Homo-oligomer: A and B are copies of this chain.
Amino acid sequence: MSYTIKDVAKQANVSTATVSRVLNGLSGYSKETEEKVLRAIKELGYMPNAFARGLVSNKSNTLGILFPEVSSQFSSKILRGVEEAAHELGSSVIVCNTASQGQRTMKYLELLSEKRVDGILFVSEKITEEYYKQLKSMKVPVVLVSTESYQYPLPFVKVDDKHAAFTATDYLVKMGHRKIGMIGGNIEDVIAGQPRVEGYKQALANHELSIKEENIKHSKGFSFKDGFNSFPDLIKSAPDLTAVFAASDSLALGAVSSAYRLGIKIPDQLSIIGYDNLPIAEMAIPPLTTVAQPLEQMGKVAAEMLFTMMSKGIIVESRIMPHSVVERESVKRI
């Protein structure tokens, strides 16, 4: 036979609310009451049941996190930070791989709603009207990670993309480069695509260097393959470049791989700087100089924001995380 919280309350001669308070480590009862409850639990062999506790507290101690691609290094670093913060705060994390598909994302949001998650982290993707309506109806806190929404009032955690791209390009100029190209991601992406190109242009303008459209290649996305495929085109249309800013580490490593095939030596013949500082940046040959986003820290901060919103019922401010150049060996001073 399986006992419920009611049986425990009866046995201990207290209310179910008191049993719940003891189980959840809240205050508002005497040491004596606590002992009575714990004794009753022991006598009955009662096991706290997450379902029953959830019904009483209406809390699941669970967060949901949605990634476009859960297996990327980018996602897994963020997940690491989220998981760490959640663990410290006694919560667990349900991961959802949306594959950037609207229908799949909606299905996940409904699932998370049914599971009564206490909050949601939404990573790297655009919030559509459909998503927002569903999120709003769930009445739980939401924090965006590495993205933001111009349409909807949701707090976010990210670096300043334009500023970080500016810093990368500015670094190349300070290393003596004047002919600097760029491999961008999707230019229709207003959150991560456009601002990085704008930051690159801003840095050139600040140093009174001319901005030439043939020095910029826009890819479909931010992947290794995109970089691998874009690099030959860039070099063909702008053969005199001495340095390239790639809008992600994956793009940069694709470019480095393509350069290796073409017999172009990095950094002797061409310098390349990336963006992200994924673990692969350090493992690359040559080790990749890049602008670091503190991904693990971003995950941690996002989870903590969610917990603040959950416990205090307030909306927290968005956070702009610091970025920094990590100097390795893919950029040469000229």
Partner of A283, one of B54, B79, B224: B224
Q: Kindly state the separation between the CA atoms of A8 and B79 in the bound complex, as whole angstroms.
A: 39
Interface string of A77-104 (1 = CB under 8 A from B): 1011001100100001111110000001
Given known pairs A79-B71, A280-B283, A283-B257, the reply for A94 and B97 (CB within 8 Å) is: no
Q: What size tier do the contact residues of chain A reach?
A: 35 or more
Asked whether A175 is an interface residue with its Cβ less than 8 Å from the other chain, the reply is: no
Report the Cα distance A282→B284, complex, angstroms: 11
A297 at the interface (CB under 8 A from B): no
CB neighbours (8 Å) of A49 from chain B are: 55, 114, 116
Copies in the complex: 2
Given contacts A51-B55, A283-B253, contact A92 B92 (CB under 8 A): no
Distance, CA A247 to CA B260, complexed state (A): 26
Closest residue to A107 on the B side, CB-wise? B87
Contact string against B for A residues 54-81, beta-carbon threshold 8 Å, 1 for contact and 0 otherwise = 1100001110000000111101110110
State the Cβ distance, A275 to closest chain B Cβ, in Å: 16
Shortest CB–CB separation between residue A26 and chain B, in angstroms?
17
Q: Is A314 an interface residue (CB 8 A)?
A: no
Report the separation of the CA atoms of residues A94 and B60 in the bound assembly, to the nearest whole angstrom: 12
Interface pair B285/A257, CB less than 8 Å apart: yes
Residue among B54, B83, B224 making CB contact with A96, cutoff 8 Å: B83
CA–CA, A285 and B114, complex, Å: 47
Contact of A83 among B97, B114, B284 (CB under 8 A): B97
Set of chain B residues within 8 Å of A72, measured between Cβ atoms: 76
A109 to chain B, nearest CB (A): 12
Q: Which residues of B contact A260 (CB under 8 A)?
A: 285-286
Residue of B nearest to A59 (CB): B51
Contact partner of A80 among B80, B87, B97, CB < 8 A?
A: B97
For A259, the closest partner residue in chain B by CB is B285
Q: Which residues on B sit within 8 Å (CB–CB) of A286?
A: 260
Cα distance A54–B50 in the bound complex, in angstroms: 9
Indicate if the CB atoms of A79 and B51 lie closer than 8 Å. no
Q: With the chains together, A104 CA to B92 CA distance in Å? A: 13
A80–B71 Cα distance when bound, in Å, is 6
Task: Report Cα–Cα, A47/B138, bound state, in Å.
Answer: 11
Q: Which of B48, B70, B224 contacts A114 (CB 8 A)?
A: B48
Question: Does A52 lie at the interface of the complex (its beta carbon under 8 Å from any beta carbon of B)?
Answer: yes
* Additional pairs, 9, CB under 8 Å, beyond known A70-B79, A70-B80: A51-B54, A51-B55, A70-B76, A71-B77, A87-B104, A93-B95, A224-B283, A283-B284, A284-B285
**Which A residues contact B (CB, under 8 angstroms)?**
47-55, 60-62, 70-73, 75-77, 79-80, 83-84, 87, 92-97, 104, 111-112, 114-116, 224, 253-254, 256-257, 260, 279-280, 282-287, 296
Q: Would you give 26 A-B contacts (Cβ < 8 Å), ordered by A?
A: A47-B114, A48-B114, A49-B55, A49-B116, A50-B54, A51-B51, A51-B52, A53-B114, A54-B54, A55-B55, A71-B76, A71-B77, A71-B80, A72-B76, A83-B95, A83-B97, A84-B97, A87-B104, A92-B111, A92-B115, A94-B94, A95-B95, A224-B283, A256-B285, A260-B286, A280-B283
